[in-house]
Amino acid sequence: MHGSFENTHTRFILCFPHAKNYGGRFIQHLEGGLGGNEYTGYVAGGLYLARRNNAYYVESNQGHSGDLRVLRDHASVFDWEASAKTAQYGREFAKKIYGEEPHHGYLYGGSGGGYRCVKCAEAPIKVWDAFMPMIMSYPSFFTFYDSIMALTVQILGDKIKDVVDATDPGGNGNPFAILENNLQKEALASLYQSGFPRGAEAQLRPNPFWPYAMQILPDPKHYETFWEEPGFEGKDDDHVVRSLLIEEDVEVEELLKVNQIRSLIVVNDLDDGMLRDLIFPKEANIGMKVKCINPGKYVGCTIQLPNGRKMYCTHNADDVLVALFSRHSLDDVEKGDIVHLDNRRLVAFSFHHRHFVSNRYPEMKQFFIDGIPIYKPSSRSLDHIPIPSGKFHGKMIIVQNAQDCDACPSNARAYIESVKNHLGNSLDNYFRIYWTENACHLQPLTSVESTRYIPWGSIVSQAMNDLIKWIEEGTSPPTSTNYNFNIHSALQLPGNASERKGIQPTVKLSINGKKNAHINVDHTILLDGEAEAPPNTGYFIKLDWDFDGSGKFSHQEELGGNESKIKTTASHQYSKPGTYFVTFRVFMERNGEKRDVIHHIINQSRVRVIVS
C-alpha cells in the first residue's frame, strides 16, 4: 500500500504478507543520506528481509521528497516523527487485516538512516521495540571526513595508486616513504589521524559524496568567509589553495541521456539511487561530453551553464561531466555551448575540517594545542551540536564496517561511548556492537572489488534475526566485537576469533608465513589458509579461492557445515609474469545450513604474488 498523510510531505509504503506468512511483527527501514524516498529499502532488500522474518514491511520518505526546506522549522519530523507516525499507522492498519496489532516492531537504517535510527530510539515515543543502526554516519563527522578526504585526494593526486600499493598485502607498509614531498605526507598523516580506516586506501578517489556534503555544510557561511575573512586559507592566499584552483571554460561536444550515463558511471547503489530518485525521463539529457584540459579532476566543481544556472559535478568519466544532484536536466544546453567550470566552493569545502572542530572528539585533537584551536574557528561551533544521549528504549545492535571511509568507524565512536556511560554495568543486557572486517560503505558490485571488500548484507540479516530472538525469546545474541582505537584513531580488531568475538569469522592467508612471495613462471606456489568462528556463532559451509585478482573465484570447495575452525592449503601456477593478488574467502552459517544464503557470513584474506 502506498499512501501519504494529509497536509504533510510524508509518503509511505506498507507491504503486508498473507496471514499464514505473518509472525505478528513489522520491520521498518530508514533510507540513508537525507532520506526523501519511500522505496529505497524496498528495492534494496528490505522487503525480502521482512518476508524472511515473517514481518510486514514499512518505509517512509522521512518527511520530505528531496527538499529539506519544507522541514526547515520541523527538524523532529525528519529525525523521527514522520517515521513514528508511519509505524503507528502501520500498526492500526495491521489490526484491520490480522485482527490485532503487531506484538513487536523493529527499526533499522544505514548511513544517515543509521543516525536517524538512533534519533528514533531516543525519541519520546515507543512505537518500536528494538533498533539496528548500520554504517552509521554522524552528521558533523560526515562533512568533517568528506572535507579532509577531498583535500587529501586533491593533494595526493596520482600518488594515491602508490599509497594503495604500499598498504595492500605484501606492500612495504609505509605509504609515506613513496610520497614526493612534505605536503603530501602531512595531508595523509592528517587523514589517518582523523580516523580514516586502514585498509580503505583504495577508496581514496573523487567522490560523489563530496557535492552531497557540500550542500549540507553545518556552517553555510564558510563559502564566503573562506575567501573574504583573514585567518582563512582562501583570503590569506595560501599556496596550497592556489595550487588546487581550477577555472576553465569548456565546449560541449555531445549531450548524453539517462541510459548512456547509467552504463557509463553506475558502479554502486548510490549512483543508481540518485538516477532512480531524480526520475528523469529516458530522453532527458543529464550528462555532457566536453573538450577539457584536466580530465578526471572535475568532481565537486561548479558547472555554470550559459543561462547562468549552476550545479555540482558529481561524476567525471574521462571527458564526460554528470551532475546528478541537480534536479534539472541539461535539455537547455546545446552542442557547441561554452560552460564554465570552477572549484572555488570545493576548495573552500576541502579546508572546512580545520575550522569546524571540537576538542571533545579524539579525531579532531590534531587541530588543537593545549585545548586551543590551531586554525580560526568557523562562525558556528561544533561544540553546540549535541551527541545523542545513549538513552534509548528497548534494545539495540549496531553494525559498523571497519573499512568504511564514507561512514568512518569513528562516526559511531562518540555514540557508543554515550551508550556505555548511560547503561554502565547493564550494557550487555541491552546493547551490542558488531564490527564487519573487510567491508566498505556500499556493497562491492564489481568482480575485482569483491576480492578487496566483502558483501555485508548477510551480517545485517543475521543481526536482525538475533535482535528478534533477543526481544521475543530472551535469547542473548553473541557477545559484541572486541575492539579499540589507538592514539591515532585507528580501529583495531584482535586477530583471533576467540578474542575478537562478534559474529564474523577471522581469516588468515599466508605463503610460508608471509603476505607476499616472488616466484618464477610455471613455478608451483603453496598457500595456507585458516579461518575461525567466534564462540557459538556458526560453522563453515564453503570456501573459495581467487588466484589472479579477477574476482572469478575459480576454485570452490563445499564443507561439511560442522567445523568452527578450519585449515586448508591450495597450490597454483602462473603462466605469465605479473603481480597477482590471491584471495581466500570463507562462508559461515549459524547452524551450518548451506541453503540459507541470506545468513552466509563472509570474510576473506589476501596475499601478493610477484611472478617473474
- State the Cα–Cα distance between residues 302 and 221, nearest whole angstrom: 17
Residue 49 and residue 126 in contact, taking contact as beta carbons nearer than 8 Å: no
Q: Which of 171-185, 215-229, 233-247, 340-354 is predicted least confidently?
A: 215-229
Q: Say what the pLDDT of residue 320 is.
A: 84
- State the Cα–Cα distance between residues 44 and 59, nearest whole angstrom: 12
Q: Which residues of 311-346 are buried (b: 16+ CB within 10 A; e: fewer)?
A: bbbbbbbebbbbbbbbeebbeebeeebebebbbbbb
Element spanning 11, H or E: strand 11-15
Q: What is the mean pLDDT of the chain?
A: 92
The β-bridge partners of 556 are: 544
Q: Say what the pLDDT of residue 124 is.
A: 93
Residue 79, C-beta contacts closer than 8 angstroms, at least 6 positions apart:
116, 119, 120, 123
DSSP state of 215: T
pLDDT 10s digits, 301-333: 999 999 999 988 888 877 788 887 666 778 889
Q: For residue 127, is pLDDT > 70?
A: yes
H-assigned helices in 53-194: 75-76, 82-98, 112-121, 139-156, 160-167, 182-193
- State the Cα–Cα distance between residues 94 and 91, nearest whole angstrom: 5
Q: Say what the pLDDT of residue 275 is.
A: 59
Q: Say what the pLDDT of residue 93 is.
A: 97
H-assigned helices in 331-476: 344-350, 352-355, 410-423, 427-430, 457-472
Q: For residue 47, is pLDDT > 60?
A: yes
How many residues belong to the chain? 612
Q: Which domains does the chain have, with CATH numbers?
A: 2-138+387-472 (3.40.50.1820), 141-243+349-373 (no CATH), 246-342 (2.40.30), 505-611 (2.60.40.650)
Q: Say what the pLDDT of residue 317 is.
A: 76
What is the end-to-end Cα distance of the chain in Å, rounded? Answer: 62
Q: For residue 270, is pLDDT > 70?
A: no
Q: Say what the pLDDT of residue 282 is.
A: 74
Q: Say what the pLDDT of residue 269 is.
A: 47
pLDDT 10s digits, 156-167: 999 999 999 999
Q: Say what the pLDDT of residue 122 is.
A: 96
> What's the CA angle centered on 147, arms 447 and 327, to 5 degrees?
75
pLDDT 10s digits, 152-191: 999 999 999 999 999 999 999 999 999 999 999 999 999 9
Of the candidates 281, 286, 330, the one whose C-alpha atom is nearest the C-alpha of residue 305 is 330
Confidence of residue 212 (pLDDT cuts 50, 70, 90): confident
Q: For residue 276, is pLDDT > 80?
A: no
The β-bridge partners of 290 are: 252
Q: Identify residue 457 by its one-letter amino acid code.
A: G
SS (H, E, C) 461-495: HHHHHHHHHHHHCCCCCCCCCCCEECCCCCEECCC
Q: For residue 411, is pLDDT > 90?
A: no
Average pLDDT over residues 479-495: 96
The answer, as to whether pTM is greater than 0.95, is: no
Phi-psi sector, 347: left (phi>0), alpha (psi -120 to 50), beta: alpha
Q: For residue 509, is pLDDT > 80?
A: yes
Average pLDDT over residues 94-100: 97
DSSP state of 533: P
pLDDT 10s digits, 53-69: 999 999 999 999 877 77
